[in-house]
C-alpha cells in the first residue's frame, strides 16, 4: 500500500542523494561487473541487462565494453513511455539520444520480455539499503520491468550510497539481490 509518508520520504531522500551525487566522478566498475558475472555464474555468451550511465551515475561505457569483449550479450534499456522498458543489444557505434538525457541502442527492439532472457541484471540506483531496498530516480521504469525476470538483480552505487539505514519502500518496489560498489565490491543482500 502506498502511503503519502513513504512518497514524501522517497522525494526527500532522492533530493539529498542527487545533491550529493553531483560532485566527484564515479569509478567505471569494469572489473567489478566481471566479478559479479562470475559470482552469479553467468555462462559464457549469457545475457546481461545493463545501462549506460548518465552524468555521475556509477558505471561506464567501458564497463559495457568489458562485458561485451568478455563474450556476454549486453542489452540496454529503451524507454517507451510509462510501460516496462524495451531492450536492444548494445553496440557502441549504434547509440542514439533518448529521453531523460539517455543514450539508447538504435538497433532492433527486442520487447519488454527480453529481460527474461538475462542471466544477470545490472540496475541503476540512487541508493540501496541492507535489506535490498533500491531507491531509483522515481520514474518507475525498472519497477515495472524487473518483475519480468528471474535473474539476479545487482544495483550499482557509490560506496556512500549503500546506506546503513532503512530506505523508504512501497509494495511495488522490487528489491535487489546484491549491491556493487567501487570500494566494497559485490555484497549479496539482505545482509
Of 22-36, 56-70, 145-159, least confident by mean pLDDT is 22-36
Lowest mean pLDDT among 85-94, 137-146, 155-164: 137-146
Give the DSSP letter of residue 171.
Answer: T
**Residues 95-150 pLDDT 10s:** 988 887 788 999 999 999 999 999 999 999 999 999 999 999 878 889 999 999 99
SS3 readout for 25-58: CCCCCHHHHHHHHHHCCCCCCCEEECCCCCCCCC
- The span from the CA of 153 to the CA of 50, in Å, is 10
7-11, 126-130, 152-156, 158-162: least confident range: 7-11
Determine the pLDDT at residue 1: 44
191 has a pLDDT exceeding 50: yes
Question: pTM for this one?
Answer: 0.92
Q: Which of the 8 DSSP states describes residue 24?
A: S
Task: Specify whether the backbone of 140 is left (phi greater than 0), alpha (psi in -120 to 50) or beta.
Answer: left
- Multiple choice CATH, 4-188, 3.40.630.40, 3.40.50.10420, 3.40.50.360, 3.40.50.2300: 3.40.50.10420
Amino acid at each position: 500500500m502506498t502511503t503519502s509518508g513513504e512518497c514524501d520520504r522517497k522525494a526527500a531522500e532522492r533530493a539529498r542523494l542527487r545533491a550529493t551525487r553531483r560532485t566527484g566522478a564515479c569509478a567505471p566498475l569494469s572489473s567489478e561487473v566481471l566479478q559479479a558475472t562470475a559470482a552469479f555464474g553467468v555462462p559464457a555468451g549469457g545475457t546481461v541487462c545493463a545501462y549506460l550511465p548518465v552524468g555521475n551515475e556509477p558505471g561506464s561505457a567501458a564497463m559495457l565494453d568489458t562485458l561485451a569483449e568478455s563474450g556476454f550479450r549486453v542489452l540496454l534499456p529503451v524507454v517507451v513511455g510509462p510501460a516496462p522498458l524495451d531492450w536492444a543489444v548494445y553496440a557502441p557505434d549504434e547509440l542514439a539520444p533518448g529521453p531523460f538525457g539517455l543514450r539508447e541502442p538504435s538497433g532492433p527492439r527486442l520487447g519488454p520480455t527480453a529481460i527474461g532472457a538475462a542471466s544477470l541484471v545490472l540496475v541503476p540506483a540512487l541508493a540501496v539499503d541492507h535489506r535490498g531496498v533500491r531507491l531509483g530516480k522515481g520514474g518507475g521504469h525498472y519497477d515495472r520491468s524487473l518483475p519480468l525476470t528471474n535473474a539476479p538483480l545487482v544495483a550499482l552505487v557509490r560506496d556512500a550510497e549503500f546506506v546503513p539505514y532503512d530506505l523508504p519502500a512501497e509494495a511495488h518496489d522490487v528489491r535487489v539481490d546484491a549491491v556493487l560498489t567501487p570500494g566494497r565490491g559485490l555484497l549479496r543482500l539482505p545482509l
